[in-house]
Chains A and B, each alone.
Chain A
Amino acid sequence: MDRLFDYADYGALLGLVHNSLIAAALLGVVGGLVGVFVQVRDMQFAVHGISELSFAGAAAALLLGGSVALGSVVGSLVAAALIGWLGIRARDRNSVIGVLMPFGLGLGVLFLSLYEGRAANKFGLLTGQIVAVDTVRLGWLVGVSIVVLIGMALIWRPLMFISADPEVAGARGLPAGLLSIGFTMLLGLAVSLAVQVVGALLVLSLLVTPAAAAFRVTASPVLAPLLSTVFAVVSAVGGILLALGGSIPISPFVTTISFTIYVVCRVISVRRQRRGWGQRLPGVPASATPAAASIA
């Protein structure tokens, strides 16, 4: 256990990872918000697929001596464009992802095995690293985050409309294809951020788990993204704070925190549904059959 946890010089360590903490908090905000639509649009598999190509891009950059951040962004955007373009319909999408993902991972492994630098760099791309965020890289992360946040703010409402209620949104003239491609590109950028902080293998813990947890406890369109963001920030920042005291990568801490939050939310939702979530106001008879039964 001593190897895992040693908090003797914690204050000094904290100063060293100051950039990483900012990066993690940003990633939490972006991941929590984008995750809402990953959930609503059922794109969990796409997140995984994009992260593998992002990994390949980062590995290529590492091998060529370029910027890892730029490499992962390029890899993500290529994957997002392919998925968005070839797979507007959900069924096509999953097969496109299933084809792209192993190819991306294979490329990434190839580039890493050709790379002769520090082994920690290689491993970090897959499982995350805490110390590597220098000021230049933080600038990158902040810039990409701002692009994603502005983009999400612009398309939030129409995207929610077309995702939850495609027929009526189409009747109101919303372009389904454009919104789908637009969101997938923003998702690609968010994934590339996550790959740099938690590593390619565990991106799902920040882009899927927090929103999935939030959806268990609220259906409010304001509260759901808010909770999802809080959960993601707590997981990312908390993961780094815990990882500081030991020698293992941050990702197991991040995944454990986000998983714990999910389990707690799930328990709350089960208890709540037993008491009747979405129950009618008192004094007004329910007009038809209880809905939960017909959906389950």
Chain B
Amino acid sequence: MTAPATGPALSLRGAGMSFGDRVLWSGLDLELQPGEFLAVLGPNGAGKSTLLKAVLGQQPLSAGDLLIGGRPPARGRAQVGYVPQQKSMDAATPLRARDLVALGIDGHRFGLRRRSPAEKQRIADALEAVGATAYADAPIGLLSGGEQQRVRIAQALATDPTLLLCDEPLLSLDLRSQRAVADMIDRRRHEHGTAVVFVTHEINPVLDLVDRVLYVAGGQHRIGPPGEVLTSETLSDLYRTPVDVLNVRGRIVVVGTPDEPGGCHHHDLTPESAGRPAAQSAGGAA
């Protein structure tokens, strides 16, 4: 384990984000310590991804302060890694898995350059760390969703970030890949003290890894350990309507959120999970 950096990896003080009259969240206070795993939950449009944009320096806060390792956000910080949600890439993209990771290191630099042996080694190490060495030279468009996400994590970690932002990285992955990808992120934060902000619709695949939950809904938010935030009382208060949080064999199911016609928030939001509810529950019991 590397020496933990001093001070919080990410701190927000009185942070607020609004577009005109519409307040996504306000008065957000958060100190994320090195190695901490924060899950960000909430319905669509609650401002989860906007929070990531603020940290990435793509969207300024409307109120308050945001510091990354003590410095204000800026575009293209190497200390911030980013893993987007899986989406199929064109099969004819002229990049191999190895090249995608390499772009994470120098893709933002203009002009021709040769990658140094040290950089090549870093790329190989990053692929090795996520178990992607076997398909390092396969075209990226021919990888499965799970394989692609592993490569993306290698890409995000190749710059050795102190803060890792994940935007729905498990979406549309099968259960085995979900577990593998979540474990990889978990191992990284334990071994290198990387703080993790994990935006997700579905808490269950990472429930046992999460230190704290930030739940955003209706312009309000709650932060705390999952056991405190994911309760009927807290969520009913947040949604201002009766919401039931059920614990079914170690899985958390939220019923009755007003913005979901089905009422079963964590499961019916995405078309992928709606299409195969049976597979979802089977995985949760395992």
Q: Do A and B bind each other?
A: yes
Residues on A lying within 8 angstroms of B by beta carbon are: 36, 39-40, 153-158, 160-161, 164-165, 167-174, 214-216, 218-221, 224-225, 277-281, 284, 286-292, 294-296
Q: Is the CB of A287 within 8 A of B82?
A: no
Whether B141 pairs with A170 at a CB distance below 8 angstroms is no
Contacts A158-B107, A277-B142 hold; do A294 and B88 have CB atoms under 8 A apart? yes
Any chain A CB within 8 A of the CB of B84?
Answer: yes
Is B252 among interface residues, defined by CB-CB distance under 8 A? no
Contact with A along B139-154 (1 / 0, CB 8 A): 1111111110010100
**Which chain A residue has the least Cβ–Cβ distance from B156?**
A168
Q: How many residues of B contact A (CB 8 A)?
A: 55
Q: Are A160 and B95 in contact (CB under 8 A)?
A: yes
A174: nearest chain-B partner, CB-CB: B108
| Contact (Cβ within 8 A) B134 A284 | yes
Instruction: Return the contact of B103 from the options A39, A160, A220 (Cβ within 8 A).
Output: A160
| Contact residues of A: prevailing secondary structure | helix
How many whole Å from A212's CB to the nearest CB in chain B? 8
Q: Closest approach, in angstroms, between the C-beta of B123 and any C-beta of chain A?
A: 13
Asked if A287 contacts B146 (CB within 8 A), the reply is: yes
Which one, B94, B100, B142, contacts A218 given CB within 8 A?
B94
A33 to chain B, nearest CB (A): 12
Tell me whether A173 and B94 are in contact in the complex, defined as CB-CB below 8 angstroms, given that A158-B109, A294-B88 are known contacts: no
A125 CA to B110 CA in the complex, in Å?
A: 36
Cβ–Cβ contact A168 & B96, under 8 A: no
Instruction: Verify if B138 is at the interface (C-beta below 8 Å from A).
Output: yes
Give how many A-B residue pairs fall within 8 Å (CB-CB). Answer: 150
Inter-subunit contact B146/A168 (CB<8 Å): no
Please give, as numbers and ranges, the residues of chain A lying within 8 Å of B131 by CB-CB distance.
Answer: 287
Spot the interface stretch: B21-29, B172-180, B217-225: B172-180
Contacts of B144 in A (CB 8 A): 287-291, 294
Q: A161 contacts B103, CB within 8 Å? A: yes
Nearest to A285 among chain B residues (CB) is B134
Whether a CB of chain A sits under 8 angstroms from the CB of B56 is: yes
CB < 8 Å neighbour of A153 from B84, B95, B111? B111
Q: Which residues of A contact B104 (CB under 8 A)?
A: 168, 172
Known contacts A160-B103, A164-B89; decide if A40 and B94 are in contact (CB<8 Å). yes
Q: Mark B70-109, 1 if CB is under 8 A from A, else 0.
A: 0000111100101010001111111110011001101111
Complex formed: what's the CA distance from A291 to B112 in Å? 32
B258 is an interface residue with CB less than 8 A from chain A: no
Least Cβ–Cβ distance between A294 and chain B, in angstroms: 6
